[in-house]
């Protein structure tokens, strides 16, 4: 039987790195993508030794407009077909919108929106042609409501969730499933960096998820073809409450929480 190949963006750290390990343990071959070739090489070496997976390293800056075409051309040349695509690469800048430079907002959009969309444009059509495939897009619980102090980031994640839900319907009957993983605050470099750059954030420990748990939920939901996956009871309760709350009240609550975390 053919061993399926999973391409994971953002595999050099955090949720993407743990997802790579989960797919490796699950018997899949892996294509690891991020900018840090050195980190990807170390992970590839580890996964090749600990699992039976073949692992390819494809360094790329996915915020650049031609990166996905170059990546897919490179894979085609090597005869590598992608059966599962995990879009995990993402960036976040924390702070009030007007305190961040325009380049920060653009950088978030270039990777979280354009990079992810380009990956889908490149890799979904061959999956549909083969009648089989899976996509895991990493969104966030920030996708469900406005998040003052993370305004651009939350807007990009709302885009990822909306796009994933639309595509889930468009792709019905094609054999290709699409899942939006919507983690809450998760203990990774992303949160550490935001804390350091903002001079400390007030984030209560009980809302911080473990990266292993988040990746395990994403892996499970992707293979089951669930459309939306929110890992953790606290995050599930928050999104449920958000849906049941009038928009004006949700904005006020989000505003108060944004001001609290920035202190």
Ligand X SMILES: NC(=O)c1ccc[n+]([C@@H]2O[C@H](COP(=O)([O-])OP(=O)(O)OC[C@H]3O[C@@H](n4cnc5c(N)ncnc54)[C@H](OP(=O)(O)O)[C@@H]3O)[C@@H](O)[C@H]2O)c1
Q: Could you give the residue numbers annotated as active site?
A: 153
Considering only 35-43, 78-86, 225-233, 243-251, which stretch makes contact with ligand X by CB under 6 A? 35-43
User: Are 55 and 24 spatial neighbours (Cβ–Cβ below 8 Å)?
Assistant: yes
Binding mask 187-226 for ligand X (x = CB under 6 A): -xxxx-----------------------------------
Q: Is 72 in the site for ligand X (CB under 6 A)?
A: no
**What is the enclosing helix (H) or strand (E) of 209?**
none
User: Are 201 and 195 spatial neighbours (Cβ–Cβ below 8 Å)?
Assistant: yes
- 196 contact partners, CB below 8 Å, separation of at least 6: none
Q: Is 13 in the site for ligand X (CB under 6 A)?
A: yes
Backbone Cα Rg of the chain: 18
Size of the site for ligand X (CB under 6 A): 31
Phi, psi for 130 (deg, rounded to 5): -85, -10
Q: Is 179 in the site for ligand X (CB under 6 A)?
A: no
Q: Is 183 in the site for ligand X (CB under 6 A)?
A: yes
Q: Is 63 in the site for ligand X (CB under 6 A)?
A: yes
Closer to ligand X by Cβ: residue 79 or 232? 232
Phi, psi for 135 (deg, rounded to 5): -125, 135
Phi, psi for 121 (deg, rounded to 5): -60, -35
Q: Is 16 in the site for ligand X (CB under 6 A)?
A: yes
Token pair for residue 86?
A: 């995990």
Considering only 7-15, 24-32, 198-206, 218-226, which stretch makes contact with ligand X by CB under 6 A? 7-15
Q: How far is CA 107 from the centre of its chain?
A: 16
* Residues 85-124 close enough to bind ligand X by CB under 6 A: 88-92, 111
Binding site for ligand X (CB under 6 A): 9-16, 34-36, 39, 60-63, 88-92, 111, 138, 140, 183, 185-186, 188-191
């Amino acid at each position: 039987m053919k061993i399926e190949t999973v391409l994971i963006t953002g595999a050099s750290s955090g949720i993407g790195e743990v997802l790579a390990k989960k797919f490796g343990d699950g018997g899949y071959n892996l294509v690891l993508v991020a900018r840090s070739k050195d980190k990807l090489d170390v992970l590839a070496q580890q996964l090749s030794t600990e699992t039976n997976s073949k692992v390819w390293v494809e360094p790329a800056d996915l915020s650049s407009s031609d990166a996905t075409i170059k990546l897919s051309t490179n894979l085609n040349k090597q005869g590598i077909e992608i059966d599962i695509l995990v879009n995990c690469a993402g960036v976040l800048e924390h702070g009030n919108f007007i305190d961040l430079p325009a380049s920060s907002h653009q950088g978030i959009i270039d990777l979280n929106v354009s990079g992810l969309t380009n990956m889908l444009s490149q890799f979904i059509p061959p999956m549909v042609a083969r009648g089989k495939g899976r996509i895991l897009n990493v969104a966030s619980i920030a996708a469900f409501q406005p998040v003052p102090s993370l305004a651009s980031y939350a807007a990009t994640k709302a885009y990822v969730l909306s796009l994933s839900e639309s595509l889930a319907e468009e792709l019905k009957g094609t054999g290709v499933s699409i899942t939006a993983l919507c983690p809450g605050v998760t203990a990774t470099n992303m949160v550490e960096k935001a804390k350091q750059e903002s001079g400390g954030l007030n984030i209560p420990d009980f809302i911080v998820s473990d990266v292993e748990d988040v990746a395990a939920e994403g892996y499970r939901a992707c293979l089951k073809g669930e459309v939306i996956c929110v890992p953790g009871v606290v995050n599930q309760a928050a999104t449920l409450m958000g849906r049941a709350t009038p928009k004006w009240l949700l904005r006020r609550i989000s505003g108060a929480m944004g001001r609290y975390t920035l202190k």
